[in-house]
Structure 1
Amino acid sequence: MIGTSIHDYVFIRICIFVLHWIAPFSIFYCLSSLVYPAPFHVSRILQVWATLESAFYLLVYHPRKIYLQRAATYPTPICREHRRLLFQRCHENIPDPERYLAKWFMDAPAPEIKWENVKDFFRWAFLDTVVPNTVNDEELEEFVRETEKLLGRKIEPGRGNAKCLRLTQGKVDMLHRSLTWYMCVFIVDTVASGYLRYYSFDFHSTSPLRLPTVFPFRPLALLTSHRSPAKTLTYWHRPHTSKTRLPVLFIHGIGIGLYPYINFLAELNLEDETNESDGELGVIAVEIMSVSLRITGETLKKEEMCQEIDCILKAHSWEKFVLVSHSYGSVITTHLLYTPQIAQKIEAILFIDPVSFLLHLPDVAYNFICRKPTHANEHLLHYFASKDMGVAHTLFRRFFWSENILWKEDIRNRRVTVVLGGKDLIVDTEVVKAYLTDNKSVRRENEGWKDGTWKGNGLDVLWFSELDHGEAFDKKNIRAQLVDITRSYCNRE
């Protein structure tokens, strides 16, 4: 993650400006050259590239943008009793009710958030619809009355001008990515592949027939002799040879794939290079291409994702493993924990910058979708992540908060560490930290919360006050702590 200095701001704004205007300038040049020849010499290479950029925008991006606007397919609705329990659980964990309402209504003034507006929000949040139905009115009215109690004030009757953030109902908001950008992605992917091969990871590709389903194309998919047992998921695998320890399943977050995690994955076995008596820790690093800045298929549904990961685990005969996830990977982790045949295999979990805890709060959705970027890191998140075609579709059409939310009760009876950064630009980590450590059995190891570790009954919270989202992997000393935690979890008890 980039910093917040003036230098970082200027750099990222220049990068965005150049990448964003490549396609418009290319189209303008192609159209104008049909009427008037350029008054200066333009090399043949630039002419061809401008033509390719124009064709890519008109023939690939624009049609796909229209295609991805299709309505979301919602999961099977839960019954009224379970909705009531979910509602109560959420409302018991809202630290600032006024802010909660304001952010879900995109900073609308409180007088504009009236009774019918709040019903609209709950209709989407708990019923997965925006279509009014008198059958559900009694339930929604009850939810609004409970919200009044939480706010300590009455909500005005009628309908105001406020519009709520209904993530899966709005337009899939994306921005064009040029061929030049995808060439950069191709280079990063190639470099990452080289590093992973150097560190003894084998790439497991899907069928060669699926090569055209991912752009930029990946030549390694044709060169590797290893095939993924899953239909769509690819992954990198380092064989597990240890007889006394557990292997590691790693699930990355939104970004440019596995490149930011290479050092972490390599360092898991760094100590074993000088000690071969027990063999090495096996690692499977799953690739989720739909959130890796590529043009590819839609993000798998919850059941499909779990089924394919289960196929991979069975193919390598993993009966027990340690699960490590970063950011969006915590959503996949939540699904795995709710899948009994996989959950029983998860011995311990390391969450790094998780987004699943307290997902009913508006911060993750608001910061990804609504916040107008100001600082360099916010511009980086907004342009390169939030507005990416695959990421935007995942968030607007495949991100259902009620099935992605994770409660601390769901991770009981396991060894778990949650790593949080005090300057996280996506998650309100202060609130998540308070939630995870709000019990009498928690013991603080370090005085103060500048940097420290909380020890609970199987649940540890590791806090870094100066870290932004994703920076834990960038700093060697902090990354070493993550490696140590993972390796300690791999030791069988």
Structure 2
Amino acid sequence: MGLRQRFSRGVPAAMTSTKPARGSFEPPKPKTWDYYLLLALLVFPVRAIVYVAPVALVVLALDQWQWFHPTPLNPWVATPLMLYCFVEVVFTLYHHVSKTSLASPQASPPPLRKQFSHHTAPHVGLFERCMADIPDVKIFVEEWFYGTPLERLTRHDLRRWLAYVFYSDDVPTDCPKYDWTAIDAMVDQLYIRAGVREPLAGEGQLNSSNPCIRHTLDEFECAERPLIAYVVTMGMDVLAALVLAQLGFERHVVGTGCSYWYRGGSTPKMSAEDPSEDPVVFVHGIGAGLLMYIPMVLRMAAECRTRQLFLLELRYVSMQLEANVPSQDDTLGAISHMLAAHGVASAHWMGHSLGSVVCSWVCKDAPQWVSGLTLIDPVVFLLCRRDVAYNFLYREPTTGLQVIMWYFVSQELHIAHAIRRHFWWYNNILFPEELPRHCSTNEVAASIFLSSCDQIADTPAVHALLQRGVQANSPDEPHASIRVTMWEGLTHGESLLRPHYYSMALAALHT
């Protein structure tokens, strides 16, 4: 019996009733021994607390009323246990109510922000730009449809999918609100680029609906977890705060849901003439907050004694019971206030995993704030592909690492809310030509570090994309290379545990 049967309520909908059992491109994978080990030692015990607590509360109460034995459990033991079980039961109810309130898709998804000079319709320009990075269009489309062969996908399927891709809405294909002429032209291009003939009338149900990945509209799924799990992660946050305070950092709150830690340098940098002394802004990824990054921050603080350091917090993906997800505009507004408050014109930006999304926003919307960029395990490249959404939200875990990531990360209530209801790929994607440039040499001022066994992004494809560099727009414009490093054998986030690797990333702050 697999994880889907054991935890059917916690498995994403696309893994149960709304998607085919397996795509032709992905044969069934056997579960590894560490999958069963960690499932038994970590996932089962933690989740069992949710279901055991109400039963234990009733049993303890009946025991105190001497229903089972004339000599009940010592009240000094029973009372704290009953109190804990009662709190867990109340928290489970709170969790259920919160899940219900957070489950609805966004009524007004943000529009596509990027403009293309050669297209009046931004979504057409984005489509053509994405297609330039897709070597096999047939596989690209089939992956979004869970492996359904493109020959079986009708125009109705592709119109509905593209309408979601660019408008994040469950759009009827006859809705006059959207530019269906442009969407039909994109459908034609998909068939042509894939070398597949469009099904004709009489070759199937042309209005049939094949399921596809639509993570901001698909059923909201998260797994219950006990209050004690959040007590642990909140304790980790307190511990991180104590360490950062000892390092001289001060916490600041900007706006609603935005906060950061700041440590001033001995000689604050106010110009872009010496990038090796620029302030550093670090944005963490999904997990338990900044505690996981403390070893790297310790070394960063030691190596950058003269530089201003900012640690931007994303509490809504840090298991802190934070439901508010600031929009892109709110986040950029908070960053603007943060930099202005400390007299910073530009900085070297460093992001890990989901933190690369914030870095992507800054690079595109406020490039004047960026003197350099370092990304570790980024998720912003090739976001037009299904890899990040599928691997994080839909893939059935088969290894120990995957089952831990599934239950403790992707199925956490507020992380699921942030990704399933607030992750807009078309505004998060970063193209190589959007990376920052040195003001004097015009070289790409970015260093990208990838893990070859990344569980979320398709790093071989990203590595190949970045190795091509920034292509010249004209014969007179030189080709620009990108510094990209592939860490062989590492999984997503593993570099944070290995000083050798995060030291390589920190060295990029001085270039």
**TM-score of the pair, normalised by structure 1:** 0.83
Q: Which residue of 2 aligns with 1:474?
A: 497
Q: TM-score, normalised by structure 2?
A: 0.80
Partner in structure 1 of residue 78 of structure 2: 43
Distance 1:458 1:468 in 2: 25
2:121 is equivalent to residue 81 of structure 1: yes
Aligned to 1:388: 412
Q: In terms of mean alpha carbon deviation, does 296-305 or 331-340 score higher?
A: 331-340
Counterpart CA distance in 1 for 2:507 and 2:437 is 21
Match of 1:239 in 2: 264
Amino acid at match of 2:373: I
Kindly report which structure 2 residues correspond to 1:354-373, keeping only aligned pairs within 5 A, or say none.
354-373=378-397
- In the aligned structure 1, how far is the partner of 2:470 from the partner of 2:318? 40
Specify the alignment match of 2:189 in structure 1.
146
Bigger Cα displacement from structure 2, 169-178 vs 117-126: 169-178
Distance 1:85 1:32 in 2: 64
316-325 or 195-204: bigger deviation = 195-204
Deviates more, 1:135-144 or 1:396-405: 135-144
Aligned to 1:105: 145
TM-aligned CA deviation for residue 267 of structure 1: 0.6
Q: Supply the AA of the counterpart residue of 1:430.
A: P
Q: Which whole-Å CA distance do the structure 2 matches of 1:108 and 1:371 have between them?
A: 16
The one-letter amino acid of 1:195's match is V
Identify which of 213, 219, 235 aligns with 1:171: 219
CA separation in 2, counterparts of 1:130 and 1:11? 38
Correspondence 1:352 to 2:376: yes
Amino acid in structure 2 at the alignment position of 1:200: G
Q: Give the 3-state SS of the residue equivalent to 1:332 in structure 2.
A: helix
Larger displacement relative to structure 2 (300-309 or 138-147): 138-147
Tell me which amino acid in the other structure corresponds to 2:392. F
Contact 2:279 2:348 in 1 (8 A): yes
Aligned to 1:327, which of 330, 346, 353? 353
- 1:146-189, Cα deviation, whole Å (9 max, x unpaired): 11112111243514452011111122211122111011112211
Contact 1:334–1:405 (Cα < 8 Å) also in 2: yes
Q: Does 1:295 align with 2:317?
A: no
Quick one: which amino acid aligns to residue 394 of structure 1?
A
Describe how 1:96-245 pairs up with structure 2 within 5 A: 96-110=136-150, 112-132=152-172, 133-135=174-176, 136-157=179-200, 158-160=206-208, 162-204=210-252, 228-242=253-267, 245=277
Does the Cα contact within 8 Å between 1:230 and 1:312 map onto a contact in 2?
no
- With over 3 angstroms needed to count, the CA separation of the structure-2 counterparts of 1:265 and 1:8, relative to structure 1, is farther
- Percent identity of paired positions between Structure 1 and Structure 2: 24
Inter-partner Cα distance in structure 2 for 1:44 and 1:107: 55
The 3 A distance-change label for structure 1 pair 439 and 404 is closer
Q: What is residue 211 of structure 1 aligned with on the other side?
A: none
Partner of 2:300: 268
User: How far apart in 2 are the matches of 1:307 and 1:468?
Assistant: 33
* Partner residue, 2:97: 63
* Other-structure match for 2:55: 28
Query: Which of 13, 20, 38 is equivalent to 1:11?
Result: 38
Mapped to 2, the partners of 1:401 and 1:260 lie a distance apart of 26
Equivalent in the alignment of 2:365: 339
Q: Which moved more, 1:157-166 or 1:410-419?
A: 157-166
Residue 266 of structure 2 contacts residue 307 of structure 2 at CA under 8 Å; is this kept in 1? yes
**In structure 2, what is the equivalent of residue 438 of structure 1?**
468
Distance in 2, matches of 1:109 and 1:467, equals 33
The reply to whether residue 398 of structure 1 matches residue 422 of structure 2 is: yes
Question: 2:324 aligns to what SS in structure 1?
Answer: coil
Counterpart CA distance in 2 for 1:97 and 1:38 is 67
Change (3 A) 1:134 1:180: closer
Distance 1:200 1:6, change over 3 A: farther
Which structure 2 segments of 5+ residues have no match? Answer: 1-30, 201-205, 270-276, 439-444, 473-478
Given that 2:452 and 2:486 are in contact with CA atoms closer than 8 Å, whether structure 1 keeps it comes out as yes
Residue deviations 1:388-411 (CA, integer Å, cap 9, x gap): 111111111111111111101111
Offset of 1:96 from its aligned partner? 2.9
Q: Supply the distance in 1 between the matched residues of 2:427 and 2:287 (Cα, whole angstroms).
A: 22
Structure 1 residue runs without a partner (length 5+): 205-227, 273-278, 443-455
Q: Distance in 2 between matches of 1:99 and 1:385?
A: 28
Give the Cα–Cα distance (whole angstroms) in 2 for the partners of residues 432 and 254 of structure 1. 20
Matched residue SS, 1:270:
helix
After superposition, the Cα gap between the structure-2 partners of 1:261 and 1:77, relative to the gap in structure 1 and judged at 3 Å, is closer
Opposite residue 309 of structure 1, the aligned amino acid is: I
Task: Quote the residue 1:462 is aligned against.
Answer: 485
Counterparts of 1:55 and 1:111 in 2: how far apart (Å)? 51
2:291 aligns with 259
Question: Residues 268 and 279 of structure 2 are in contact (CA less than 8 Å); yes or no, is this contact kept in structure 1?
Answer: no
What per-residue deviation string (whole Å, max 9, x for no partner) do you get for residues 203-222 of structure 1?
A: 33xxxxxxxxxxxxxxxxxx
SS of the equivalent of 2:407 reads helix
Q: Report the 3-state secondary structure (helix = DSSP H, G, I; strand = E; otherwise coil) of the residue aligned with 1:344.
A: helix
Tell me the secondary structure at the aligned position of residue 430 of structure 2: coil
1:449 counterpart residue number: none
What's the offset of the Cα at 1:271? Answer: 4.3
How far residue 11 of structure 1 moved from its aligned partner, in angstroms, is 3.3
Q: 1:418 maps to what in 2?
A: 448
Following superposition, the deviation at residue 103 of structure 1 comes to 2.0
CA distance in 2, matches of 1:87, 1:27: 52
CA deviation after TM superposition for structure 1 residue 194, in Å:
2.3
Residue pair 1:298, 1:393 contacting (<8 A) in 2 also: no
* Distance in structure 1 (CA, Å) of the matches to 2:446 and 2:213: 32
Q: Give how far 1:38 is off.
A: 5.8
Question: Deviations for 1:89-121, whole angstroms, at most 9, x for unmatched residues?
Answer: 111211332332222112335554332111111
Kindly indicate whether the alpha-carbon contact (under 8 Å) linking 2:286 and 2:409 is maintained by their aligned counterparts in 1.
yes
Q: How far apart, CA to CA, are the structure 1 residues paired with 2:186 and 2:481?
A: 34
Residue pair 1:229, 1:315 contacting (<8 A) in 2 also: no
Rate the CA distance shift 1:12–1:263 in 2: closer, same or farther, 3 A. Answer: farther
Partner SS state of residue 322, structure 1: strand
